[in-house]
Structure 1
């Protein structure tokens, strides 16, 4: 099934009159690998958003759309625990393990806390 990232790339290719092979060649990968990424069988490589944005001279709005599509298409996320103490690691891992069991209210509460922090509302 085509991911959000896959739909973005397909539209980009059509708009530029390209085939899957052309984009794959530009990215330095095989057509089958690009297809696997677009269909969610492989994660979107971290450097592809920048590569695609540069290769196709994407504007700010298109770049944001591509970045969001790549993030929404990720199946696996890697966390860098460097600089975290053991208690913080345990907390993050517990959240990841138990997230699917949280209620929608709990998820919204966590999201609100994080958004307030981002906006500087919580010190």
Structure 2
């Protein structure tokens, strides 16, 4: 499952003729972390666009487009539920719907439960 940002990063890699490993070395991130950004499993780091634009002229020339894609990616979290039990998928969906209304104390309790 890829995000719009992920699709553009993959296209960029193909256009540059570099692998995920090659791009990860260019931006000083692990391939696993970069892959997680592409699929929406990890949040895009704050300096990511600056790093990309400084290393890749094509990104610098399309900075506004990449900035919009990064902002979109930061506003979403993707959670693959295709193999989850129905009840677990319902729980994840309910949490997503109600997340913005949880108090700091409730969020703290959730962090304690999941060990974050």
TM-score range, shorter-chain basis? 0.5 to 0.7
Displacement after TM superposition at 1:61 (Å): 5.4
Distance, in Å, in 2 between the alignment partners of 1:8 and 1:38 is 9
Secondary structure (helix, strand or coil) at the match of 1:9 reads helix
1:40 pairs with 2:34: no
Instruction: For residues 24-74 of structure 1, give each alpha carbon's deviation from its aligned partner in whole angstroms, at most 9, with x where no partner exists.
Output: 011112111100111000001110111111111136651111111111111
Distance, in Å, in 1 between the alignment partners of 2:30 and 2:45 is 14
Moved >2 Å (runs of 4+): 58-61
1:57 pairs with 2:44: no
Structure 1 vs Structure 2 CA RMSD: 2.0
- Larger radius of gyration between Structure 1 and Structure 2: 1
Which residue number in structure 1 is paired with residue 30 of structure 2? 30
What is the TM-score normalised by the length of structure 1? 0.58
* Structure (1 or 2) with the greater helix fraction: 2
Displacement after TM superposition at 1:8 (Å): 1.2
Range with greater deviation from structure 2 (49-58 or 33-42): 49-58
What is the TM-score normalised by the length of structure 2? 0.61
**What is the aligned length?**
79
Contact preservation (8 Å) 2:2, 2:39:
yes
Task: Name structure 2 gaps, 5 residues minimum.
Answer: 78-99, 102-116
Secondary structure (helix, strand or coil) at the match of 1:25 reads helix
Contact preservation (8 Å) 2:49, 2:67:
yes
